[in-house]
Amino acid sequence: MATQFCPECHQPLPQLEVVAGVRLTPLKASLLEFIKTHPGCTSIELGQRFYERKIRHPANSIRSHIYQINDALDGTGVRIRGDQFVGYHVVGSSI
């Protein structure tokens, strides 16, 4: 897919994917899909998987992304839940 640019400022527009009727960035969409197919992962495990030591505190970044995903999914019936001893998992209607 070719990069699209804003007609006003000519900056590149982010590539978005539609998941559960919501537009998400590719990272957030792949994070949601990974949690759906691999329930029970912790934020540390997800940080290692998605960032591979590219940032200083990947677990904090993963938690922020999950919060933002849940914010975008508000009203769809789909949520990412995290439990201390169980890890993250997707709850609600199927995606």
Do the domain assignments include residue 65?
A: yes
For residue 66, being part of any structural domain is answered with: yes
- Measured CA distances, 30 to 41, 65, 66, 72, 84 (Å): 14, 11, 11, 15, 22
Output the pLDDT for position 66: 96
What domain range includes position 56?
Answer: 17-92
Output the domain CATH number for residue 77: 1.10.10.10
Confirm whether 2 is domain-assigned.
no
Q: How many domains does the chain have?
A: 1
In this prediction, residue 57 carries a pLDDT of: 81
- Which H/E stretch holds residue 68? helix 58-72
Let me know if residue 24 belongs to a domain.
yes
Per-residue pLDDT of the chain (95 residues; tens, 9 = 90+): 578 888 999 998 888 888 888 999 999 999 999 999 999 999 989 988 888 767 778 888 999 999 999 999 998 999 999 988 889 999 987 66
Q: pTM surpassing 0.85?
A: no
Model pLDDT, residue 95: 61
In a domain, 27, yes or no: yes
